[in-house]
């Protein structure tokens, strides 16, 4: 398959996905309003499963079963809500899971049926394991938050970490991409790059009203890409790793089309006006080969749980996708324009 054909297919796919966005966004909030308007305060969610003490003394078995259902329903509702997936969120989830585990353990001790006893004990152990996992995740996020590893540029642009746009980006990062192995490893490399310059950029934006205005306009397409990517991830979440790979590719390609392609096309056009011979799209073949190698490397890293391989290949896959889409698209457009200019005019 020729490089130009691949570029055309990628472009068509992007157009189709972006064209479907309004229909998909019927159930999605506008990025200009508080996107978690349906969220309850965290303490209110926890109180749904905390109307009686989790201890089993003085409580009937029926009340304990009701209590366990309360905790389970509160957990399900909390996870389905659009509460920001920050350290506080995972702390509350872990608290509910511990209470559910304690309640299930109490039911296991009361049961005379060995099968039922085993079932309650298994649920208790699973809940304790989930609680330990979410407690550790909460601690990791709290460390990031305390060290300033937040969405610095978006926060500086919109003036507050509670702005809906900041919450949208943070929820997408922590509530979607970081929930998979590939996504969590990708952000290990991304953070090392992003936080090498973002504090200085965020500081400048925070002090310049003009820069804030420019950045608010600049970030609108990016926020829309995040909305579509989050929707795409929800559709593909039957396999978190596949969903993450697809979302990374879609996000990189969309970013390239919106932000990189216009600038690349302008530069190549100006170079052509000065006599530079524009190469054919096939010259992007080395980038395409690199893209294939990085995709294979990412899949291998996920299968083998190889952290370094996954970090490197995911970062280079995103970078090569950006270069491939922008470069192939630019050269294809220039080649098409050149052919039209050189073709004879019918008499």
Is the pLDDT reported for residue 317 higher than 60?
yes
Is the pLDDT reported for residue 59 higher than 80?
no
Question: Per-residue pLDDT averaged across 331-345, rounded?
Answer: 72
Q: Name the band, by pLDDT with cuts 50, 70 and 90, for residue 141.
A: low
Question: Per-residue pLDDT averaged across 56-65, rounded?
Answer: 72
Distance CA 281, CA 327 (A): 8
3-state helix, strand, coil split of the chain in percent (to 5) is 80, 0, 20
DSSP 306: -
Residue 238 CA, chain-centre distance (Å), reads: 15
Q: Which residue in the block uniquely carries the two structure tokens 């978190």? A: 240
Closest to 245 (Cα-Cα) out of 340, 325, 318, 141: 318
The pLDDT value given to residue 9: 59
* pTM listed for this prediction: 0.61
Q: What does residue 20 show for φ and ψ, rounded to 5 degrees?
A: -80, -10
Residue 167 CA, chain-centre distance (Å), reads: 12
Q: Name the band, by pLDDT with cuts 50, 70 and 90, for residue 149.
A: low
Is the pLDDT reported for residue 97 higher than 90?
no
Q: Name the band, by pLDDT with cuts 50, 70 and 90, for residue 52.
A: very low
Q: What b/e sequence results for 247-281 when a residue is b if at least 16 CB atoms lie within 10 Å of its CB, and e otherwise?
A: bbbbbbbbbbbbbbbeebbeebeeeeeeeeebeeb
**pLDDT single digits (tens) 65-80:** 888 888 888 888 887 7
Dihedral-angle region of residue 113 (phi above 0 means left; psi in -120 to 50 means alpha; beta otherwise): beta
Is the pLDDT reported for residue 185 higher than 50?
yes
The angle formed by the CA atoms of residues 85, 87 and 90, to the nearest 5 degrees, is: 70
Is the pLDDT reported for residue 263 higher than 80?
yes
Burial class (CB in 10 A: 0-12, 13-18, 19+), 303: exposed
Is the pLDDT reported for residue 31 higher than 60?
no
* H or E segment and range at residue 84: none
On whether the CB atoms of residues 101 and 128 are closer than 8 A, the answer is yes
């Amino acid at each position: 398959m020729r490089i130009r054909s691949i570029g055309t297919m990628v472009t068509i796919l992007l157009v189709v996905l972006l064209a479907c966005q309004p229909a998909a966004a019927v159930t999605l909030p506008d990025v200009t309003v508080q996107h978690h308007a349906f969220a309850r305060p965290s303490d209110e969610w926890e109180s749904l499963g905390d109307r009686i003490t989790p201890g089993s003394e003085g409580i009937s078995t029926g009340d304990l079963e009701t209590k366990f259902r309360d905790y389970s329903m509160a957990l399900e509702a909390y996870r389905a809500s659009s509460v920001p997936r920050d350290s506080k969120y995972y702390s509350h989830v872990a608290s509910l899971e511990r209470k559910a585990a304690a309640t299930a353990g109490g039911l296991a001790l009361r049961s005379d049926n060995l099968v039922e006893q085993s079932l309650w004990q298994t649920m208790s152990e699973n809940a304790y394991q989930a609680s330990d996992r979410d407690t550790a995740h909460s601690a990791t996020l709290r460390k990031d938050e305390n060290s300033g590893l937040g969405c610095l540029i978006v926060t500086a642009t919109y003036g507050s970490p509670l702005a809906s746009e900041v919450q949208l980006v943070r929820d997408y990062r922590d509530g979607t991409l970081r929930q998979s192995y590939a996504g969590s490893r990708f952000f290990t490399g991304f953070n090392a790059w992003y936080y090498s310059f973002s504090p200085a950029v965020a500081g400048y934006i925070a002090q310049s009203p003009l820069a804030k205005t420019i950045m608010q306009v600049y970030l609108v397409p990016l926020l829309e890409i995040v909305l579509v990517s989050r929707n795409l991830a929800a559709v593909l979440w039957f396999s978190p790793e596949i969903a993450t790979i697809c979302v990374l590719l879609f996000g990189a390609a969309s970013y390239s089309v919106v932000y990189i392609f216009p600038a690349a096309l302008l530069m190549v056009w100006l170079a052509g006006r000065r006599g530079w011979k524009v190469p054919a799209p096939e010259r992007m073949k080395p980038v395409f080969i690199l893209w294939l190698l990085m995709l294979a490397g990412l899949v291998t890293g996920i299968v083998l749980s190889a952290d370094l391989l996954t970090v490197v290949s995911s970062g280079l896959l995103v970078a090569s996708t950006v270069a491939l889409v922008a470069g192939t698209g630019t050269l294809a457009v220039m080649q098409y324009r050149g052919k039209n200019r050189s073709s004879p005019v019918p008499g």
